[in-house]
Structure 1
Amino acid sequence: MTELPSTPSAWALLALAAALVGFSKTGINGTASLSILLFATLLPAKESTGALLPVLILGDLFAIRFYSRHVEWRVLGRLAPWVVIGTAIGAVALWFADDSTMRVVIGAILLAMLALQVWSKLRPRPEEPKPPTGLARRSAAAGAGVAAGAATMMANAAGPVMVLYLMLSGFSKLRFLGTMAWFFFAVNLFKVPISVGLGLITWHTIVMAALLIPAVAAGALAGRALVHRVNQKQFEIATLALSALGAALLII
């Protein structure tokens, strides 16, 4: 990223994207897809992944502050080595991809992740889901870890993978939020030196993130306040529909 946006409208949309990041981290997961779309629309698609990363880390800090007591460390330990492998795969892809290719990749990843979320919501579920055990648990951790690592490195879009994995594990709401918070904080920090090495994080992206702190904070506080008060199903359906439209426009 060679320079900061210069128009008020661009900054207004970046602030909206930052607020959605905060809201997604502490409230209803899924709105971050709109943030990915906005950043990829306002900035060169490849550079947008690095520009968004510091903003995501700010959102992670708010989520940790609110939900850190509810983290499930054993789950994170099982995922960790597989996430590293997936992140390495995503970094290699970023190294060779140009901007036009990255727009298609980001759009395709968003559509795939959105389809995964829709499937997870529509499939029949037992009344009391039980966490997988033995080989099934290890296989699920491997698949989710590699997919999440690659998706987050290439498009900051690992949220739906983790949503599905933790839902299938039978997590309660607070355990879900706390584990997601620490997972993404650790993964996003791990991505920082890789993104710097790829030239995706610069002083301009750091300055941009600092200027967007108030927007992230506002979104995070709103997410925490509203997560128990809104009709989550309707809200998520609307978010998925808008994100799918945005992802399709990126590909076109």
Structure 2
Amino acid sequence: MVEVALLFVAALLVGFAKTAVGGLASISVAIFASVMPARESTAAILLLLVTGDLVAVWHYRANADWALLRRLIPMVLPGLALGALFLAVVDDDVLRRSIGVLLLVLAAVQLALRWKSPDTTQVGRSRAAALGTGLASGFTTMTANAAGPVMTLYLVAQGVEKRRFLGTSALFFFGVNLCKIPFSAGLGLFSTATLQRTALLVPFVLLGAWAGLHGARRLSQARFDQAVLAATVVSAVALVVR
């Protein structure tokens, strides 16, 4: 019963993360991995993420920054390929925790920069930062479903306004997660049991998305930035300890 309740909470968090505070979905990834077999949990959470992506894209599609997306996309597929290669040769647990530690370091650097100077956008707007974020997003989503915090840190460094943040993230992750479906299907991860379980959790994703849409409206830009950075730290810790 406890495991079922945890899955419901995880599904709610997926929806809320997609429409309000990005990065929280990594906590859902950790919950799924703790109550389901690792391979099965990867496929189940992917389908829920796509569901949340659809809601977010529909509501925030007009706010997406296409110029920013074009800078990120070229390195995503190489990142996915690099992640797949590393998974073939590196222990999964060690790699996931390493990514968590790296995210904590990046979050600490971002917070330090914001403390020293409110304007961190010049660093975030460089081409190298965009290419590095695209590569890291592809790599981390393939190895640990942890691209959310990477994207969050990049967009916060860009000084992206709240709705543009949500619209850009929605389209980016919708595309990335769709790219992952053939990989998962090819590995035979979409069993009948996984599809049935996912179908039962979809309403909770939609409920979480609804709550996120209402919550995002009430957050000021300053509070929004603080919330997504805090979610990044929590998500990174979840990756380290899960």
TM-score (structure 1 length as normaliser): 0.83
Give, in whole Å, the separation in 2 of the partners of 1:238 and 1:177.
16
One-letter identity of the residue aligned with 1:138: R
Tell me which of 193, 198, 203 is aligned to 2:192: 203
One-letter identity of the residue aligned with 1:117: A
Distance 1:40 1:114, change over 3 A: farther
Tell which deviates more after alignment, 15-24 or 238-247. 238-247
Tell me which of 86, 106, 111 is aligned to 2:96: 106
Tell me which of 6, 10, 17 is aligned to 2:10: 17
More helix by share: 2
> Cα distance, 1:28 vs. partner?
1.3
Post-superposition CA distance 1:40-88 (Å, at most 9, x none): 1112334422221111101101111211100111222222220000011
Aligned positions of 1:119-130 closer than 5 A: 119-124=109-114, 126-128=117-119, 130=121
The SS at the match of 1:171 is coil
Aligned to 1:81: 74
Tell which deviates more after alignment, 163-172 or 147-156. 163-172
Give yes or no for the alignment of 1:27 onto 2:20. Answer: yes
One-letter identity of the residue aligned with 1:82: M
Give, in whole Å, the separation in 1 of the partners of 2:77 and 2:61.
22
Give yes or no for the alignment of 1:248 onto 2:237. Answer: no
Give yes or no for the alignment of 1:70 onto 2:63. Answer: yes
Tell me which of 112, 130, 136 is aligned to 1:141: 130
> Cα distance, 1:210 vs. partner?
1.3
Distance 1:234 1:120, change over 3 A: closer
- Ranges in structure 2 where 5+ consecutive residues have no aligned partner: none
Give, in whole Å, the separation in 1 of the partners of 2:140 and 2:156.
19
1:56, 1:188 within 8 Å by CA — same for their partners in 2?
yes
Give, in whole Å, the separation in 2 of the partners of 1:94 and 1:203.
25
Post-superposition CA distance 1:78-119 (Å, at most 9, x none): 22220000011112233456xxx3233323323322432343
The SS at the match of 2:218 is coil
Give yes or no for the alignment of 1:38 onto 2:31. Answer: yes
Distance 1:106 1:172, change over 3 A: same
How much is the aligned-residue C-alpha RMSD, in angstroms? Answer: 2.6
Give, in whole Å, the separation in 1 of the partners of 2:228 and 2:128.
28
Tell me which of 159, 168, 175 is aligned to 1:186: 175
1:195, 1:201 within 8 Å by CA — same for their partners in 2?
yes
Distance 1:113 1:198, change over 3 A: farther
2:113, 2:120 within 8 Å by CA — same for their partners in 1?
no
Distance 1:78 1:203, change over 3 A: farther
Give, in whole Å, the separation in 1 of the partners of 2:88 and 2:184.
10
Distance 1:86 1:42, change over 3 A: same
Give, in whole Å, the separation in 1 of the partners of 2:190 and 2:59.
27
1:131, 1:170 within 8 Å by CA — same for their partners in 2?
no
Post-superposition CA distance 1:7-41 (Å, at most 9, x none): x3222111111110111111112211211110111
One-letter identity of the residue aligned with 1:62: V
Give, in whole Å, the separation in 1 of the partners of 2:102 and 2:228.
16
